[in-house]
Amino acid sequence: MPQDYEAPALRDQYLLFHYGEADMALPFAFGPEAALDFPERVVAEMVADHAPDARALDIGCAVGRSAFALSRRCAEVVAIDYSASFIEAAERIRSEGTLAYTAADEGAITRTLTAHVPAHAHPDRIRFAVGDAMALDAGLGTFDVVLLLNVICRLPEPAVCLNRLHEFVAPGGQLIVSSPYTWLEEYTPPVHWLRSTRESRGGAPTLHDFLGAHFTLEETRDMPFLIREHRRKYQWCVPEVTRWRRR
Ligand SMILES: C[S@@+](CC[C@H](N)C(=O)[O-])C[C@H]1O[C@@H](n2cnc3c(N)ncnc32)[C@H](O)[C@@H]1O
């Protein structure tokens, strides 16, 4: 059963994933703390130096944390997601500064938390909008930094998105792709799961088949994240994060 990205429960799970304090996102002393703050870590560790007037595009931004992180270092951030519910939440945080949400503890037992605009972010630099990664609007223009974080294995035909990314990255610009490559029939018919044309290798070598004509691979890292489903159940995931430079 695929996740319904419009469902309030999933929206709230993502709000905790993106904005939750460490003691809420992981309320145990023995868990994988290295997996906290994924959107902030990706921007801090994988986005290379760029000009201060950089334009950034965040494709599949969910409830927006990576867009806020980008706003500290880029002059303009366009952040799109297919889910109207996620974009509405991100825009509420941007325009009103806070948003209350619910974290699941056990069964019907929940607690109310508040998401805040992250410290030192620039909400005025961000535009959140509903958009489709497989039908990106050419009118968006080109960007110096493009993020595509944990989206490709949620698309019906990821190659359609990958094959057009060069149109949106300015020459010399950077593209950060993160993916756990969790291929599921519910999202992506198996015929469209990314496969290498050379041999059955996965990961960055396969991405290279789609991006290599226009991009040079600069860096590859394993970067964990943690999503709390309820107090005693978590998704620990280790996507591969790659940075590509537009030639
Ligand atoms: C696994 S979440 C990752 C969210 C965020 N980038 C992160 O890393 O935390 C996948 C996101 O992709 C979005 N998504 C799914 N299909 C999409 C599409 N066709 N275009 C844009 N976003 C899409 C979902 O709504 C969801 O926010």
Residue 173 belongs to a domain with what CATH number?
3.40.50.150
State if residue 39 touches ligand 1 by the CB under 6 angstroms criterion.
yes
- How much distance in Å is there from the Cα of 61 to the middle of ligand 1? 6
Note whether residue 211 is domain-resident: yes
End-to-end CA distance of the chain: 40
Note whether residue 3 is domain-resident: no
Among protein residues, the one whose CA lies closest to atom 10 of ligand 1? 151
pLDDT digits (tens, 9 = 90+) for 62-91: 999 999 999 999 999 999 999 999 999 999
State if residue 58 touches ligand 1 by the CB under 6 angstroms criterion.
no
Note whether residue 183 is domain-resident: yes
State if residue 179 touches ligand 1 by the CB under 6 angstroms criterion.
no
pLDDT for the residue numbered 167: 98
State if residue 60 touches ligand 1 by the CB under 6 angstroms criterion.
yes
Note whether residue 84 is domain-resident: yes
Among protein residues, the one whose CA lies closest to atom 11 of ligand 1? 60
pLDDT digits (tens), the chain, 247 positions: 567 888 899 999 999 999 999 999 999 999 999 999 999 999 999 999 999 999 999 999 999 999 999 999 999 999 999 999 999 999 999 999 999 999 999 999 999 999 999 999 999 999 999 999 999 999 999 999 999 999 999 999 999 999 999 999 999 999 999 999 999 999 999 999 998 666 667 899 999 999 999 999 999 999 999 999 999 999 999 999 999 999 9
Note whether residue 87 is domain-resident: yes
State if residue 149 touches ligand 1 by the CB under 6 angstroms criterion.
yes
- What is the value of pTM for the model shown? 0.97
Q: Report which ligand 1 atom has the smallest distance to the Cα of 65.
A: 9
Note whether residue 1 is domain-resident: no
Among 151, 152, 182, say which to mutate for ligand 1: greatest number of ligand atoms within 8 Å of CB: 151
Number of folded domains in the chain?
Answer: 1
Q: Which domain holds residue 179?
A: 8-24+33-246
State if residue 86 touches ligand 1 by the CB under 6 angstroms criterion.
yes
Note whether residue 60 is domain-resident: yes
State if residue 69 touches ligand 1 by the CB under 6 angstroms criterion.
no
Taking CA atoms, 206 is separated from 166, 183, 193, 201, 217, in Å, by 17, 14, 11, 7, 12
State if residue 81 touches ligand 1 by the CB under 6 angstroms criterion.
yes
Note whether residue 2 is domain-resident: no
Three-class SS of 12-76: HHHHHHHHCCHHHHCCCCCCCHHHCCHHHHHHHHHCCCCCCCCEEEEECCCCCHHHHHHHCCCCE
